[in-house]
Chain A
Amino acid sequence: MTKILVIFEVAKGKIVGLTKECLTVVKSLSSTMKADVEGVILGSGIGDLAVEAGKFGVKKVFKVDDPQFSGVNILYHTRTIEALIKESNPTLVIAGATLYGQELMPRLAARFNKAMFASMKSFSVDDDEFEGIHPLFEEKLFVKMEADIDQMNFTTILGGNNPEAEPNESLSAEVVDFIPVIQDSDKREVFVEEKIAKVSVDITKAKLLVSGGRGVGSQEKFVVVFDSAKALGGEVGASRAAVDAGWVPYDHEIGQTGKTVTPDFYIACGISGAIQHLVGMRNSKTIIAINTDEEAPILEVAHFAIIGDLHEVLPELVKQV
C-alpha cells in the first residue's frame, strides 16, 4: 500500500495552521495516489492532540509522547522520525515549510540520501511523478521541480497557498505509541529554553491595519502608529525589525515569523518591504505605503504610495479621513 506520512507540528499546545494546510494538499494527493495517510506527532503530554490529528483523514497516528520531547529538539525529532520512516516506508513525507519544517526536512532527506521538494508553492502528483512549483528570487521567478514517484520523497509546503483542512468530528484514527529513538551522539544538541510571547490581540481579523517598521524610529515614536490605527478603526501591525527592537509586542508581527494578514487596507509605514515581511501581507486588498524612499521594495506590492515622513503624513491622514 502506498503511504503518505504527515509530520504534525505542535506549537503553543496546538497543531500549527500550516500542518493543516499540508493536510489539504495531502487530501488531494491521497485520493489521486490511492494512498493511506499516516501522521506522526511528537511532544510531551500530547494525547489529546494525537486524537485531534485523527480528525483530518489520517488513518494512523504515531504518537511520540515522552518527557524528553517537552522542549523541541530537532535532532531528537529527526532521529525518531527517521526510525519511523524506516519501519513504515512511506512514498512521501510531508511537513509545513515553517522554521521547524525547514530545519527538520532537509536533515531527514539527507539521511536517506535524497534531495527534496523544498518550500513548495504548489505540489501535486501526476501518473508517475510528483511535481511542484518552488519560488526563486523571492517569488520574482518560479521553477518547476519533479521526481519519480517510485522512490521516497520529502516535501515542505509554503504557507498561505492552501486553505487549512477542517477537522471532521466523525473521523478518528488509530493512535499508536511510537518509542522515541535518541542516541548518545544526539545529546550534542541540547534544548535549553524557549521564550514565546503571550498573545493578546488577534490582528488577523482586522479590516484595516496600520503597520510600522524600522523607519518609525523608536518605541516612543511608535505611538503615532497606535494612535492612527485607533483613529481609523483598525489594529496595529509591525515588521520583525520593529518587534526585535522591542518597540511593539510580538503578537503584532506580520511576515514569515509572524502572522499572515489580508485586510481591506494595509498601511505600511516606514517598512522597506523585505520578502520576510511581504509574504505576510502581500495579499491585502489595498496596500498603501508611506515611506521616505521611493526605491523601497514595498512599492512593488503597494497599490498606492506616499513618499514622505510617516510622522507628518499619518497625523495628517487621521485629520483628513
Chain B
Amino acid sequence: MKTKDGYLTLNILIFVKATIDRNAPLDPDEIFPGDRDDKSDVMTNNYDKHAIEAALRIVEEKGEGKVTAVCLGSDMADKVVKEAIAMGCHGAIRIENSEAEITHFFSVAKILAASAKKIGEYDLLIFGMQSYDYGTATMAPMVAEFLDLPLACFVEKVSLNEGKITVEKVIEGGTRTMELQMPAVLSIASTGDYEEPRYTSVRRIMKASKTDVPVWEISDLGIDDDEPSVEFDDIEVPPARTEKCVVIDEGDPNELVGKLLDTLKEKGLNLGAFK
C-alpha cells in the first residue's frame, strides 16, 4: 500500500486452517475440527506454518509491515489463530464457521476472497501450499482468480523491490523465477527458505490467548450462493496394511545388521543379489 510520501507499508494477510492433528486418531466420520470435542485433536495445518514463517520474515527483512492471520473455522480453530499470533502475527480475524460448516474448497475460496476484500488493504495474500486434510492445493489459485490477482505457487524464496515481488518457485527438476506486481497471492512450499517455521513458546501462547480476535460472520461477507459444481461424497478407508514393519532396535550395529539379514533371508530376500 503506497502512502502519500511514497513509502511502502506492507500489509500481509496469511490464511491459516485448522485441521485434525497428525497424532490424533483418524475417524472417517469426524474429519473436521468442528466434529471433535477435544482441542488436542486440532492443529494448525502444518503447511500453513511455512506460510506464516514466510510472511513474518518478509516483514522482518523489510523492517516494517503488518501480518494479519485470517482463519475460517469454528471455535475449535481459536487455538490455531492464537498460535499464529504467538508465532508473531500482529493481528487475526476468525470467520465463524460453526453453524455453516463450509468445507468445500470452492466455497471456502470464495469466503476467503471476500474476507480479503472486506479487509481491503493488502499487498500480499499468503497461503500454505496445501492442507493436510483435503490436500487439493486449490486455495491460493482460486482466491487469486476470484480477486483477479497475480499468483505464484510453491514459492521457496522471495525478494521485494518497489511494488514488485520476485519469487523462486519449485518446479520439477529445479526452480523458476517469476516477478509479480503486488498485490499478489503466494503459496509457500514446505521446502526452501521457509522450510523450518519458528517455534513459539508457552509464554507467547499464553500472551496470545489474551489477544482479542474479532469474529466475522460469513453472512456479512456478501458471497454468492453458487453450489460447487463438484460434490464430495462417501469417505473410504483404505484396506489396512496386512504386514507391519519389522522393527529391529536392539543390539550394536553388528547385531542390528545381522538380525536384518537373517530376517530377510527367512523371507527369501537377498540383498546381495546385485553386487
Q: Which A residues form the contact surface with B (CB < 8 A)?
A: 11-12, 16, 71-75, 98-100, 102-107, 109-111, 113-119, 133-148, 151, 153, 185, 188-197, 199, 207-208, 231-234, 240-241, 244, 250, 257-258, 264-265, 274, 276, 286, 288-289, 294, 299-300, 302-309, 312-313, 316-317, 319-321
- Known contacts A146-B233, A232-B272; A75 and B133 CB within 8 A of each other: no
Q: Do B245 and A299 have beta carbons less than 8 Å apart? A: yes
Name the B residues within 8 Å of A276 (CB-CB): 190
Q: Do A191 and B257 have beta carbons less than 8 Å apart? A: no
Min CB gap A164→B, angstroms = 15
Contact pick for B150, options A75, A289, A304, A313, CB 8 Å? A75
Q: Do B191 and A240 have beta carbons less than 8 Å apart? A: yes
Name the A residues within 8 Å of B229 (CB-CB): 113-115, 147-148, 151, 153
User: In the complex, what residue of chain B is closest to A194 when comparing beta carbons?
Assistant: B176
User: In the complex, what residue of chain A is closest to B27 when comparing beta carbons?
Assistant: A141
Cα of A141 to Cα of B32 in the assembled complex, Å: 13
The stretch that binds A, out of B164-172, B201-209, B210-218, is B164-172
Name the A residues within 8 Å of B152 (CB-CB): 189
**What 15 new A-B contacts, CB under 8 Å, besides A103-B154, A145-B230, A192-B177?**
A114-B106, A115-B230, A134-B134, A141-B28, A141-B238, A148-B229, A188-B181, A197-B173, A207-B274, A233-B273, A234-B274, A257-B170, A305-B248, A316-B254, A321-B272
Cα of A241 to Cα of B196 in the assembled complex, Å: 11
Q: Do A136 and B133 have beta carbons less than 8 Å apart? A: yes
Q: Do B231 and A305 have beta carbons less than 8 Å apart? A: no
Q: Do A103 and B153 have beta carbons less than 8 Å apart? A: yes
Could you pull out 20 A-B pairs where Cβ atoms are within 8 angstroms? A99-B172, A107-B141, A110-B142, A136-B135, A188-B150, A190-B180, A191-B178, A195-B175, A208-B271, A208-B274, A274-B190, A288-B260, A294-B247, A299-B247, A306-B248, A307-B247, A308-B249, A312-B253, A316-B254, A317-B260
Count chain B CB atoms within 10 A of each CB in A71, A98, A115, A208 and give the residue with the most: A115
Count chain A CB atoms within 10 A of each CB in B26, B235, B245 and give the residue with the most: B245
4 nearest A-B residue pairs (beta carbon): A233-B274, A110-B145, A115-B106, A307-B249
Q: Do A194 and B104 have beta carbons less than 8 Å apart? A: no
Cα of A274 to Cα of B137 in the assembled complex, Å: 17
Interface residues as binary, B131-146 with A (CB distance below 8 Å gives 1, 0 otherwise): 0111111100110111
Q: Do A133 and B236 have beta carbons less than 8 Å apart? A: yes
- Known contacts A232-B272, A286-B269, A303-B246; A188 and B233 CB within 8 A of each other: no
Dominant SS among interface residues on chain A? mixed
Q: Is B192 among interface residues, defined by CB-CB distance under 8 A?
A: yes
Q: Do B236 and A99 have beta carbons less than 8 Å apart? A: no
Name the A residues within 8 Å of B231 (CB-CB): 145-147
Q: Is B78 among interface residues, defined by CB-CB distance under 8 A?
A: no
Min CB gap A266→B, angstroms = 11
- Known contacts A99-B153, A110-B109, A244-B195; A116 and B253 CB within 8 A of each other: no
Q: Do A110 and B146 have beta carbons less than 8 Å apart? A: yes
Min CB gap A104→B, angstroms = 8
User: In the complex, what residue of chain B is closest to A78 when comparing beta carbons?
Assistant: B145
Cα of A106 to Cα of B261 in the assembled complex, Å: 49
Cα of A288 to Cα of B174 in the assembled complex, Å: 28
Interface residues as binary, B262-275 with A (CB distance below 8 Å gives 1, 0 otherwise): 01100001011111
Q: Do B245 and A233 have beta carbons less than 8 Å apart? A: no
Contact pick for A191, options B106, B176, B237, CB 8 Å? B176
Q: Do A313 and B230 have beta carbons less than 8 Å apart? A: no
Contact pick for A300, options B138, B150, B245, CB 8 Å? B245
Name the B residues within 8 Å of A153 (CB-CB): 229-230
